[in-house]
């Protein structure tokens, strides 16, 4: 008597896989958006709370972040990093913007503002543009983990511990990748000069 074939259980991707959820959100899936909020709402609020300090303002920032995610999900590019990093970067930028708006409002309330006049020389602008292009070119030479680590730490102001938490990697790994990435950046920038 021939034995019947046995069925093998194959697990589907985790239902709260952030990359998968963002892809579904990009297609207008409100259920995926709810699962995305459940998966990252506390983390987004935590980032906002650390930056703005005020719990009520942090809730407003978190709401703005998820509105941004809903609107910008179709433009998310997996080749540039993970969806979680993308969302946490939006959260940090929104929180910093909120602090800046608050500080600006405080300055304007009851104080005369002296407008500063900037004197941008065309040559300075050209030099800055060339330097930015060199840095972007050198950033492209980094591995994905090096690039994400460097961007989070140096462009978004996260500590090593926060970067390790966001990228879900051990702290020593993040420190090593960041050091290697910075060395590679330095060597690349020195070669362009």
Residue 130 or residue 39, greater confidence: 39
- pTM here is 0.51
Which of the residue ranges 53-62, 152-161, 181-190 has the most confident prediction, judged by mean pLDDT?
A: 53-62
75-117 pLDDT, tens digit each: 998 888 889 989 998 999 998 888 888 777 766 665 544 455 4
Average pLDDT over residues 162-189: 84
Confidence (pLDDT) at 15: 46
What is the spatial distance between Cα 56 and Cα 61, in angstroms, rounded to a whole number? 9
Tokens (6 digits) for 162: 């926060």
Which domains does the chain carry? Answer: 12-105 (1.10.1740.10), 127-193 (1.10.10.10)
What is the spatial distance between Cα 127 and Cα 193, in angstroms, rounded to a whole number? 12
Confidence (pLDDT) at 187: 81
Beta strands (DSSP E) in 25-137 are: none
- CA 58 vs CA 92, 96, 181: distances in Å: 11, 11, 32
CB-based contacts of 66, cutoff 8 Å, min separation 6: 33, 36, 37, 41, 44
């Amino acid at each position: 008597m021939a034995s019947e074939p046995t069925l093998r259980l194959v697990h589907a991707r985790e239902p709260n896989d952030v990359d998968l959820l963002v892809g579904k959100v990009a297609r207008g899936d409100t259920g995926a958006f709810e699962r995305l909020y459940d998966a990252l709402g506390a983390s987004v609020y935590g980032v906002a709370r650390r930056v703005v300090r005020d719990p009520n303002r942090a809730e407003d920032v978190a709401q703005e972040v998820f509105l941004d995610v809903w609107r910008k999900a179709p433009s998310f590019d997996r080749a540039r990093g993970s969806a979680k990093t993308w969302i946490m970067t939006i959260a940090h930028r929104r929180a910093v913007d909120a602090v800046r708006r608050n500080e600006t409002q405080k300055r304007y309330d009851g104080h005369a503002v002296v407008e500063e006049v900037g004197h941008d020389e065309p040559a300075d602008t050209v030099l800055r543009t060339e330097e930015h292009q060199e840095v972007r070119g050198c950033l492209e030479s980094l591995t994905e983990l090096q690039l994400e680590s460097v961007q989070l730490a140096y462009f978004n102001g996260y500590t090593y511990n926060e970067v390790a938490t966001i990228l879900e990697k051990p702290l020593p790994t993040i420190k090593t990748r960041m050091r290697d990435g910075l060395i590679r950046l330095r060597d690349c920038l020195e070669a362009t000069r």
